[in-house]
Homo-oligomer: A and B are copies of this chain.
Amino acid sequence: MKWRADDLKDKVAAICCGGGIPATDAAMIADVLVTTDMRGIHSHGVVRLARYLDCIRAGGIKPAAEPVVLNESANSIMASAAGGLGIPASVKIVRRLLEKAATQAISIATVNHSDHYGAAGYYAMMAADRGLVGFSASNTCPLVAPTGGRAATIGNNPFAYAAPGVKHRAVLFDVCMSKVAAGKLVIAAEAGQKIPEGLILTKDGRPTTDPGEIWHDAVMLPFAEHKGYGLAVMVEMMTGALGMAGMMAGVHSWNTQPGRDADTGHSFIVVNPEFFGGSDAFRARIDAMIDELKACPPCEGATEVLYPGELEWRREKTALENGIELPAASVSELTRAAKMAGVELGATA
């Protein structure tokens, strides 16, 4: 079952509208989710849509809320999503930040009283597509045990950056701080798969191979021990603490508390290379860096060295040419969302 990108975006937007989301915001959500599926990150694509509608129904997300700027300077914005959807609030604030970034070496924005903002990398790429360097981060409800601990205490706190090339579109790096993303556990659980031991603990701190524990307060473990933990703290500091959003237990789970303002925090930084060696020189250097990485001889078992984002660009190209293949969990959640919104899912490409 394959979808044409534009058709899928139209469908997602229609579902959003059916769920009470204004048309402009619906188009933003459609672009973020479908672009993410096109890049092969199905854990953060249309699979999330039904849950947004669940939260709207439960009263935890205000579907038509407009973000409010709380504090602003020549190179900063402190904003609130006012209890609305994370995606349109983030797209609007990053657009405003990019206007500042045109005349500033470095600019920063924070968003509080927000919710799930989709894939962190989308916002970093908004900057890279304008020739700028972009950083994007969000906290989440507690999901990860700090090193030496056994309870979910800090979020898995996604973080992304992107920087533009010319020959190569951009480097794009998007990770969360747990060994495995929550969305990937959901996909595995819905596919009835097991996971290796050591990725998560049950809520009581016991090892498990059942990804479905993610729905029962499973505890995720940070990647690379204290390194992943320390990066999760960095994101918490730049989102929750700096942006005056919920922090740690102050961020509410959309799974267990869909009726509550999650008070998620996001943070965005944009750097303008024009204030350093110039944009053209910078982009040429990103190309050169990528070429040098790719010239590294492959190790046993590998056929080539990839640069961060290379797989995503290949998948996006294939999806544009041949249509988007969605995993079963995404189709099932999309179908559920369509039903909730009273939209006919209809034929596909």
Residues of A whose CB lies within 8 Å of any CB of B are 71, 73-76, 78, 104-108, 110, 133, 145-151, 153-154, 161, 163, 171, 173, 175, 205, 223-224, 226-231, 233-234, 236-238, 240-244, 247-249, 269, 271, 273, 275-277, 281-282, 285-286, 288-289, 292-293, 295-300, 302, 304-308
**Contact call A269/B175, Cβ cutoff below 8 A:** no
Q: Determine how close the nearest CB of chain B comes to the CB of A56; give it in whole angstroms.
A: 28
Interfacial chain B residues near A243, Cβ < 8 Å: 276-277
Interfacial chain B residues near A227, Cβ < 8 Å: 175, 223-224, 228
Interfacial chain B residues near A293, Cβ < 8 Å: 146, 149, 153-154, 233, 248
**Contact call B273/A242, Cβ cutoff below 8 A:** yes
Q: Determine how close the nearest CB of chain B comes to the CB of A261; give it in whole angstroms.
A: 17
Interface residue from B249, B296, B304 paired with A153 (Cβ < 8 Å): B296
**Contact call B234/A148, Cβ cutoff below 8 A:** no
Question: What CA separation (Å) do A277 and B113 show in the bound complex?
Answer: 14
Question: What CA separation (Å) do A108 and B297 show in the bound complex?
Answer: 35
**Contact call B249/A292, Cβ cutoff below 8 A:** yes
Q: Determine how close the nearest CB of chain B comes to the CB of A120; give it in whole angstroms.
A: 13
Interfacial chain B residues near A75, Cβ < 8 Å: 75, 104-106
Interfacial chain B residues near A299, Cβ < 8 Å: 145, 148-150, 205
Q: Determine how close the nearest CB of chain B comes to the CB of A250; give it in whole angstroms.
A: 9
Q: Determine how close the nearest CB of chain B comes to the CB of A239; give it in whole angstroms.
A: 11
Interface residue from B104, B163, B241 paired with A285 (Cβ < 8 Å): B241
Interfacial chain B residues near A306, Cβ < 8 Å: 147-148
**Contact call A224/B228, Cβ cutoff below 8 A:** yes
Interfacial chain B residues near A292, Cβ < 8 Å: 153, 247-249
Question: What CA separation (Å) do A133 and B76 show in the bound complex?
Answer: 15
**Contact call B76/A275, Cβ cutoff below 8 A:** yes
**Contact call A285/B247, Cβ cutoff below 8 A:** yes
Interfacial chain B residues near A247, Cβ < 8 Å: 285, 288-289, 292
**Contact call B105/A241, Cβ cutoff below 8 A:** no
Question: What CA separation (Å) do A71 and B273 show in the bound complex?
Answer: 11
Closest to A284 in B: B241
Interface residue from B223, B229, B281 paired with A308 (Cβ < 8 Å): B229
Interface residue from B147, B173, B248, B277 paired with A242 (Cβ < 8 Å): B277
Interfacial chain B residues near A276, Cβ < 8 Å: 71, 76, 78, 110, 242-244
Question: What CA separation (Å) do A146 and B230 show in the bound complex?
Answer: 22
Question: What CA separation (Å) do A306 and B275 show in the bound complex?
Answer: 39
- Given A106-B106, A233-B308, the answer on whether A224 and B223 have CB atoms closer than 8 Å is yes
**Contact call A149/B302, Cβ cutoff below 8 A:** yes
Interfacial chain B residues near A305, Cβ < 8 Å: 146-149, 153
Q: Determine how close the nearest CB of chain B comes to the CB of A199; give it in whole angstroms.
A: 13
**Contact call A105/B76, Cβ cutoff below 8 A:** yes
Interfacial chain B residues near A133, Cβ < 8 Å: 237-238, 242
Interfacial chain B residues near A104, Cβ < 8 Å: 73, 75
**Contact call A298/B149, Cβ cutoff below 8 A:** yes
**Nearest 5 Cβ contacts at the A-B interface:** A76-B105, A149-B296, A148-B302, A173-B230, A150-B299
